[in-house]
Structure 1
Amino acid sequence: MTKAVLTKENIHLNQKFVDKEEAIRYTGKILVENGYVKQEYVEKMLEREELSSTYMGNHVSIPHGTESGKNEIVETGISVVTIPEGVDFGSGNVAKVLIGIAGKGDEHLEILSKIAIVLSEEANIEKILEAISTEEIISLFDEVN
């Protein structure tokens, strides 16, 4: 039986980080603790950030592992972390929503497409930031099917 891609346990609201490395590690740790990836995947997420920023604009970053990190994925899953005060991702880019992705096989493409649909509306980014419950965020992503 496969796990749900996004569960309440994968969503952490109102966090605070000193830098993007700490924020990415935290986002990855959620995936590790909930059985989606092995610990080594978090290092692959940091490696990806070194190669190319995962900052997407509109205060959103989507940390994910490198191609070589695919072996560290146990199940497809995403984590969502909100950072109301934001964290600097360099070049004046401040991320307030981090969405960690681990996609088994080609499933990351489907996940990215779903995330892109949700985040294409700035109002949805605001809803994520203003959410006071994990259920609010889950229902936003469930609306896209």
Structure 2
Amino acid sequence: MEIQTNLIKLGQAFETQEEAITFCGEQLLAGGYVTSDYVPAMLERNRELSVYMGNFIAIPHGTDAAKKEVIKTGITIVQVPRGVNFGDALDPKIATVLFGIAGVGNEHLDLIQKISIFCADVDNVVKLADAKAVEEIADLLNSVEV
């Protein structure tokens, strides 16, 4: 899937993980990828099982029940330079890059696989976190072969 530059957001800041997840969902909604019911399902999914994946990334996405709210497959990439904590004070889990995803059918699995392969190398996460232009991020992710 081709990364859309209009869905890449640089230099964002969030106080809470809920705020961060909601922002990702709103980007997908504004882009016509999901219905408004998908956004609360992303928050619910995180309550069921954290969307924090390690290596400073989180992949907010909806519950299985919310699959019907996906209009077309899409991904938003949100850079959070100061990070947002997906853990707690005793066990912080800081994400500096968020990948909000919505997939038709099982296409979300392909997105997660592509992200996981790329972000398994923490140096790649650093490149995303330090990028100064949306084109840099798009080029990095579009170069991943799955």
1:111 maps to 111
Question: Structure 1: how far apart are the matches of 2:52 and 2:84?
Answer: 11
Question: Does residue 53 in structure 1 map to residue 38 in structure 2?
Answer: no
Question: Structure 2: how far apart are the matches of 1:118 and 1:57?
Answer: 13
Question: Structure 2: how far apart are the matches of 1:16 and 1:51?
Answer: 24
Cα pair distance change 1:17/1:64, threshold 3 Å: same
Cα pair distance change 1:54/1:95, threshold 3 Å: same
Q: Deviations over 1:92-129 (max 9, x none)?
A: 11111110110100111111111111111111100100
TM-score by length of 1: 0.94
What runs of 5+ residues in structure 1 fail to find an aligned partner?
A: none
TM-score by length of 2: 0.94
Check the 8 A contact 2:2/2:142 in 1, yes or no: no
Identity of matched residues, %: 44
Determine helix, strand or coil for the equivalent of 1:24: helix
Determine helix, strand or coil for the equivalent of 1:36: coil
Deviation at 1:5, TM superposition (A): 4.9
Any runs of at least 4 consecutive aligned residues in structure 1 with deviations exceeding 6 A, and if so which?
A: none
What runs of 5+ residues in structure 2 fail to find an aligned partner?
A: none
Cα pair distance change 1:130/1:81, threshold 3 Å: same
Count, aligned residues: 142
Deviation at 1:58, TM superposition (A): 1.2
Check the 8 A contact 1:63/1:98 in 2, yes or no: yes
Question: Does residue 63 in structure 1 map to residue 60 in structure 2?
Answer: yes
